[in-house]
Amino acid sequence: MSTIGDNVKEVLHKVEKARKRSINGEEVTIIAVTKTHDNQVIQDVKDLGFTSIGENKVQELVKRMEVFEDSLEYHMIGRLQSNKVKYIYDKVALIHSLDRHSLAKEIDKRGRNSEITVPCLIQVNVSKEKTKGGVFPEDLESFVEECLKYKNIRIMGLMTMAPHIDDEKKLRSYFQKMYKMREIIAKKGYNELDMKYLSMGMSNDYEIAIEEGANMVRIGSSLFGKRDYSKL
Ligand SMILES: *Cc1c(COP(=O)(O)O)cnc(C)c1O
């Protein structure tokens, strides 16, 4: 059986190799996606040098925050309901899943009341799968412009979840599309926008995503093994 230590080594190695092949050669931030796993595995990857974890449910993220406090950075990577923003907006390093007007409004309101700016990525549904959240590519520019009106939100880039397929060509085309969209928006030169992050790539496809310009990957099962959802 492989240990987390072995998995981490392998992932770091593959990430670095993919980065060297990538179109931009940028440093890649790895977010350890810890959903369904117990706190011990988080301690393990933390001991191995990881500083960022991701959860796709607010209540799970909050539980981790209670245990690990300021020793980790917390990423909200899943669909976010507006009524749950209040539990996390002032504690997360990044919300990856800003994808609709009502959510932007709520995040901005919370930020304004606390006099903070909440860092967010806009989630794009690049493959237009019905089951996935995210704005469609053709709606992205107008959504970005809408978000810029909210002074207590800081848009720091884009996020996507590619479909779970083996077709490398197709995956690559989705990632390329994301990279282009991020460039187009960055070039528009909106003052408040830095578009620093492109969060894409999961266990199934992170090497391809990095090759195509991802600088933030969200990796779960390649680090921790298969998830057991019955534990939730
Ligand atoms: C679960 C999840 C991941 C990680 O998935 P793996 O395939 O286990 O690497 C990444 N991003 C999001 C949004 C997720 O929900």
Tell me how far apart the alpha carbons of residues 26 and 216 are, in angstroms, rounded to a whole number. Answer: 10
Task: Count the residues in the chain.
Answer: 232
Residue 149, pLDDT score: 95
Which ligand 1 atom is the nearest neighbour of the CA of 204? Answer: 7
Residue 189, pLDDT score: 81
Residue 228, pLDDT score: 74
159 is written with which tokens? Answer: 């996020």
Task: Write the DSSP symbol of residue 30.
Answer: E
How many angstroms separate the alpha carbon of residue 230 from the centre of ligand 1? 17
Which ligand 1 atom is the nearest neighbour of the CA of 221? Answer: 8
How many angstroms separate the alpha carbon of residue 76 from the centre of ligand 1? 11
Residue 231, pLDDT score: 57
Tell me how far apart the alpha carbons of residues 211 and 171 are, in angstroms, rounded to a whole number. Answer: 11
* Ligand 1 pocket residues where CB is under 6 Å: 33, 35, 56, 77-78, 161, 202-204, 218-222
Q: Which helix (H) or strand (E) holds 118?
A: strand 118-123
Residue 1, pLDDT score: 53
Tell me how far apart the alpha carbons of residues 37 and 56 are, in angstroms, rounded to a whole number. Answer: 12
Residue 132, pLDDT score: 93
Residue 2, pLDDT score: 64
Which residue has its alpha carbon closest to ligand 1 atom 12? 77
Torsion angle of alpha carbons 109, 113, 116, 118, nearest 10°? -20
Task: Read off φ and ψ for residue 118, nearest 5 degrees.
Answer: -95, 120
Walk along the chain (232 residues) and give the pLDDT tens digit of each residue.
568 999 999 999 999 999 999 999 999 999 999 999 999 999 999 999 999 999 999 999 999 999 999 999 999 999 999 999 999 999 999 999 999 999 999 999 999 999 999 999 999 999 999 999 999 999 999 999 999 999 999 999 999 999 999 999 999 999 999 999 999 999 998 877 889 999 999 999 999 999 999 999 999 999 998 877 665 5
3-state secondary structure of 155: strand
Block residue for tokens 């991802």: 214
Which ligand 1 atom is the nearest neighbour of the CA of 202? Answer: 9
Nearest to 217 by CA among 27, 68, 83: 27
Tell me how far apart the alpha carbons of residues 167 and 59 are, in angstroms, rounded to a whole number. Answer: 34
How many angstroms separate the alpha carbon of residue 113 from the centre of ligand 1? 32
Its pTM stands at: 0.95
Which ligand 1 atom is the nearest neighbour of the CA of 77? Answer: 13
18 is written with which tokens? Answer: 């993919």
How far separated are the first and last CA of the chain, in Å rounded? Answer: 24
